[in-house]
Structure 1
Amino acid sequence: MSKNNFLALVVISLGLFFAIYVDSSVKKTWLEQSYTFDTYQTDSGIAAYKYKGKEVVITDVVPYQQSSLRQENLNNSSNDPQLSQQWIENSDQQLKLLKPAFHFGLWSLLPAFITIALCLLTREPLTSLLAGIVVGSIMLGQYNLTDAVIIPNLAKEGTAGLLLLYLWLLGGLLGVWSKTGAAQAFATYMTEHYVKGPRSAKTISWLLGILFFQGGTMSTVLVGTTVRPLADKANVSHEEMSYIVDSTASPIALVIAFNAWPAYVQALIFVPGVSFLATEADRLSFFFSSIPFSFYGIIAVTGTLLLCLNITRFSGKRIRDARQRAISTGQLDAKGARPLSAKELQSCDVPSGYNPHVLEFILPLFTLIFIAVITFIYLGSPKINWAFGAALILSAVIALIKGMSLTNVVDGFGNGLKGVVLASVILMLAVIIGSISKEIGGGLYLVSLLGEQLPFWLLPLILQLITMVIAFSTGTSWGTYAIAFPLAMPLAWAVCQSQGLVNPELFMMVCFATVLNGSVFGDQCSPISDTTILSAMTTGCDLMDHVKSQLVPATFAAAIAACLWTLTVYFFA
């Protein structure tokens, strides 16, 4: 047994031991969590709010002082709360929804720690994620892993949507493109007309990342899928490509914020008594006004452009070595690498007599982008499943019209499914462990460590570090927003009031930006993040090679951003 495998076995054994200890002996710490909605009066005079386009009527409202979910009552109770949520009316006659949440103190970070430690030791994300899920489930007292944890999480609407998109639609599309030779034809066309070497291939990839500024998994899949064939043909290392794709996904969405992010985030940042956060319009204006302070997003996107131009001083040794390896040996992966993209998608299997054409790649891709953008404009969110489904159908129809047999088309579709099945399983496990980490309160514990007596100029830095750790541990930026913003924004306002800052709105904007950007950094660098996994999958990179190689440039960008945030509030707030 190798040293790393022995250490991994020790980590798993200790994780299981401590998980049983937490379940049996560690008391939950319950915290009051309040949520504010844009409520209104219906025609019948009943309070209501909109959720996913549907009207939800608010009933059974109680005065805040009578709520069993307020912090004082939670502190005095020795049992778990009987209610999962309760609507209350505060002294200002404002309606809020109270939901109790708990953490196990430092133990709440155990599942994420086990997962990340095993990833680094074994370079095997599948077993690492599964170990983290087992540890988290035991901590919650759920020993029936299949029926109580995995199946309920996979049955959720969002998880089922991910499975449909990334296994059936993305895998099928890549498989059909491989069968028809469309991706190779596109790479050949771009190489002949635009791509003259690694630098131009990387620059085009960066430009596409800027173009697809919706952020998150959408940008990752679109850019990675598009640039993989031309980058491989131009001899660009997979570590470089996965970093470019990942670093222009969510970071650009912070800078060009004409996407779904502001609408989601504004609902989390209401603070009573703060005039510039009073209404939805005020909060949206606050979001866009804070964009100049998204220093990490700006620096990350700029640093990625420097890498594309072969300026690698800030990229770290791993990326420099990967670039040199690809140039000198033509090897796009490191020795011993295990790319997430299977061999079925790494070569063409075009039937004899079939002539690929570049339009077989461009037309489905254009259709995909067009549907995603149009649905975003008219429906408020991009319908990615529609977009990929239409692109898949169009690719198959074109192949059939050009004379490819239905058997060959179906064979390509099947090869595509096989090519992404491992990455899809990893993605599903990442979603589950993120849900478990949130339930056991890892992020809640980290944020609750903060207090109002901090020097005001330290708060942005601490919020950045806390959200980086939360997002890295849970693999989600949006999940981190839901945890951090309802706690961080009131805390920032309390610091403003207690320390008499002359420019409280600027201070709040900087604190807001640190939470926004710190969460993106942690998500981008986490080995259990969906965007990290998809960046490696769509570019054909080994997951841990991608994680380790991008940590240095991302951390460098985060360090510069931290200095800029601290200096901004110190001199101008």
Structure 2
Amino acid sequence: MISTLFQRALPALALLLVPGLGFAQAEETATAYGVISVLPPLLAVALALWWRQIIPALFLGIWLGAWALNGFTLTGLGVGLLESFQRYIVAALADSDHAAVILFSAMIGGMVGLITRNGGLAGVVTVIVSFASSVRRASMATVALGMAIFFDDYANSLVVGNTMRPITDRHRISREKLAYLVDSTAAPIACIALVTTWIGYQVGLIRSALEDMPGVELNAYFVFLNAIPYSFYPLFALVLIVTVVWSGRDFGPMLAAERRARHEGEVAPPARTRALIEEDNQHMAPDEDKPQRAINALLPIATLVITVVVGIYMSGEGETLQEIVGSADPYKSLLWGSLLGVLSAAAMTLGQRILDLGEVTSAWFAGVRSMLLAIVILILAWGLSAITTELGTAQYLADLVGEHLHPGLLPALVFVLAAFTAFATGSSWGTMAILVPLMLPLTWTLMQGAGMSDPSDLAIIYAVVAGILGGAVWGDHCSPISDTTILSSMASQCDHVEHVRTQLPYALFAGFVALLIGALPAGFGAPFWLLLPLGALVLVIGMRLIGKTVE
């Protein structure tokens, strides 16, 4: 999620990965390509779910998009195949921010390899196991750690998944469940927390939109704060995950995965994934005669987290903490943190003579190798995202919302539109960048036409902002081409398609409740203080009715 890591931290003009393209061009192509613009991401998603192989699905999606851009001719088919590599995949690799993300992910993997091989992670497991003495406690500890690392969803996914995986494995919690716990606490908490790496981007988009709304004298940060109570999907996703953990109930494919893990001891589903994990673990497993000191893992992890926090503060500008964090470069900070985390892990391992230099290098490389599959998926996802931007997919979806609607319907409609756009493009931040500047002025125009310009009517504005942000997070959760979904799978060492397949029913459940009990009535004046507890109650009762115990 300058061009940013995972296409996230850009203004709308910098969303494209292919040099020379701009938002204006995307707007023109939206009309030119129309419904064709949604075919490449839909093909990729459909094939990924059908074949359960994400890499060929993503590549075929890129190829279809390149074919469309070159005309649906036999010649265009061949040119599209060549450009799939030359123009889109190579461009994704050549982007400096993407290179930074690849390096950051590899370094995190290397650090995990080191703290696993030096026995530090085993020591952490021993400490946490004293509290996480049951499936419920281990799951709740995962959720709590996810909420504690609220400042950035990328760091959240990688740190929580890698730290808690040995503990959840010990309690026979499936990798699919771990990936769900990681994924469903990362973006939702980062989206609504007051001091995160998301704030500057979100507030900047809102500020830009407010400038195109004559007669509106509102502070962008004030609008963001007032939108938080209307952020029904992020809030309900957090409520649902706590309900699932506390009740011990699951449903759908997740129930089958949990029963497989609990009864058969198979925490990782497909044989291909298990083989990959077992091969990497052979190189990262600690020797039995080596000390298992928790400090050898906790200090590198703390170094990573503290460096990221300090780096965010140092790279930001502004008078208030919110302004500083919002304007910071979190990805530079993540690179600093991952580098110092690896160095501290290596120094502690060598200093205590737990491993020699050759063994340290081998453990680091085994950790890096465990990330390679996910890195390939990320590169292809970036290429597909460039295709969707050039085809004008998001602009086409935004144009589906007409200008002859009742303003009260807009919170629900933009939630659905943002959800589908993020699902199709795999970019929650790209979705925000397209829809916030478009939908806020449209909302204000419709409100003025309906005579709804009193301060009491501004709740619709807040609900529309929240609908875009929440819908983007929902689509991000459900899309197999989403960066954060890929990271959650990677950190949890869960087969990516299985993660998407098992998480989807939960996201749909929370999403429908957010739509029907949150966004829709909020648009017609229902107060958030009534809708939030009502939605939470529906989630709890729903889990009681449709969920089944694993045991």
Q: TM-score, normalised by structure 2?
A: 0.82
- Aligned-partner SS, 1:338: helix
The answer to whether the 8 A contact 1:367-1:390 is kept is yes
Partner Cα separation in structure 1 for residue 459 and residue 40 of structure 2: 37
Q: 1:361 deviation in Å?
A: 0.8
Question: Which of 509, 519, 527 is 1:565 aligned to?
Answer: 519
- The residue identity in structure 2 corresponding to 1:326 is A
Distance 1:127 1:291, change over 3 A: same
Alignment match, 1:416: 367
Q: 1:151 deviation in Å?
A: 1.4
Greater shift in the superposed pair: 550-559 or 371-380 = 371-380
- The residue identity in structure 2 corresponding to 1:173 is M
Q: How does 1:208-227 map to 2 (within 5 A)?
A: 208-227=145-164
1:30-60 CA deviation, whole Å, 9 max, x = no partner?
Answer: xxxxx899xxxxxxxxxxxxx9xxxxxxxxx
Q: How does 1:427-466 map to 2 (within 5 A)?
A: 427-466=378-417
Question: Which of 323, 338, 341 is 2:273 aligned to?
Answer: 338
Alignment match, 2:448: 497
Alignment match, 1:302: 239
Alignment match, 1:76: none
Question: Which of 108, 112, 120 is 1:170 aligned to?
Answer: 108
Question: Which of 243, 252, 255 is 2:192 aligned to?
Answer: 255
Partner Cα separation in structure 1 for residue 525 and residue 102 of structure 2: 48
- The residue identity in structure 1 corresponding to 2:151 is Q
Q: 1:181 deviation in Å?
A: 2.4
Question: Which of 266, 269, 282 is 2:203 aligned to?
Answer: 266
Distance 1:130 1:273, change over 3 A: closer
- Aligned-partner SS, 2:257: helix
Which residues of structure 2 form unaligned runs of 5+?
1-10, 15-19, 71-78, 317-327, 528-551
The answer to whether the 8 A contact 2:88-2:386 is kept is no
Q: 1:264 deviation in Å?
A: 0.8
Residue 60 of structure 2 corresponds to residue 121 of structure 1: no
Partner Cα separation in structure 1 for residue 169 and residue 233 of structure 2: 29
Distance 1:99 1:340, change over 3 A: farther
Q: 1:569 deviation in Å?
A: 1.9
- Aligned-partner SS, 2:273: coil
Partner Cα separation in structure 2 for residue 328 and residue 156 of structure 1: 46
- The residue identity in structure 2 corresponding to 1:465 is V
Partner Cα separation in structure 1 for residue 525 and residue 289 of structure 2: 70
Partner Cα separation in structure 1 for residue 121 and residue 289 of structure 2: 18
Alignment match, 1:90: none
- The residue identity in structure 1 corresponding to 2:525 is F
Residue 89 of structure 2 corresponds to residue 154 of structure 1: no
Distance 1:355 1:469, change over 3 A: same
Alignment match, 1:364: 300
Larger strand proportion of the pair: 1
- Aligned-partner SS, 2:210: coil
Partner Cα separation in structure 1 for residue 256 and residue 173 of structure 2: 12
Q: 1:476 deviation in Å?
A: 0.9
Distance 1:256 1:340, change over 3 A: farther
The answer to whether the 8 A contact 1:178-1:345 is kept is no
Greater shift in the superposed pair: 435-444 or 342-351 = 342-351
The answer to whether the 8 A contact 1:197-1:234 is kept is yes
Q: Which has the higher contact order (CA 8 A, sep 6+)?
A: 2
Question: Which of 323, 342, 346 is 1:396 aligned to?
Answer: 346
Partner Cα separation in structure 2 for residue 374 and residue 514 of structure 1: 32
Distance 1:326 1:165, change over 3 A: same
Matched-pair identity in %: 29
Distance 1:518 1:128, change over 3 A: same
Q: 1:283 deviation in Å?
A: 0.5
The answer to whether the 8 A contact 2:110-2:363 is kept is yes
Q: 1:216 deviation in Å?
A: 2.8
- Aligned-partner SS, 2:349: helix
Which residues of structure 1 form unaligned runs of 5+?
1-34, 38-50, 52-82, 87-96
Distance 1:424 1:343, change over 3 A: farther
The answer to whether the 8 A contact 1:340-1:536 is kept is no
Q: 1:211 deviation in Å?
A: 0.7
- Aligned-partner SS, 1:268: helix
- The residue identity in structure 2 corresponding to 1:568 is A
Larger helix proportion of the pair: 2
1:498-538 CA deviation, whole Å, 9 max, x = no partner?
Answer: 11225331111101110000000001111011111111111
The answer to whether the 8 A contact 1:340-1:420 is kept is no
Alignment match, 2:462: 509
Partner Cα separation in structure 1 for residue 366 and residue 212 of structure 2: 58
Distance 1:276 1:199, change over 3 A: farther
Residue 86 of structure 2 corresponds to residue 136 of structure 1: no
1:242-286 CA deviation, whole Å, 9 max, x = no partner?
Answer: 10000001011122131122211222232346478657xx10111
Distance 1:276 1:390, change over 3 A: farther
- The residue identity in structure 1 corresponding to 2:402 is G
- The residue identity in structure 2 corresponding to 1:445 is Y
The answer to whether the 8 A contact 1:209-1:223 is kept is yes
Distance 1:547 1:36, change over 3 A: closer
The answer to whether the 8 A contact 1:186-1:229 is kept is no
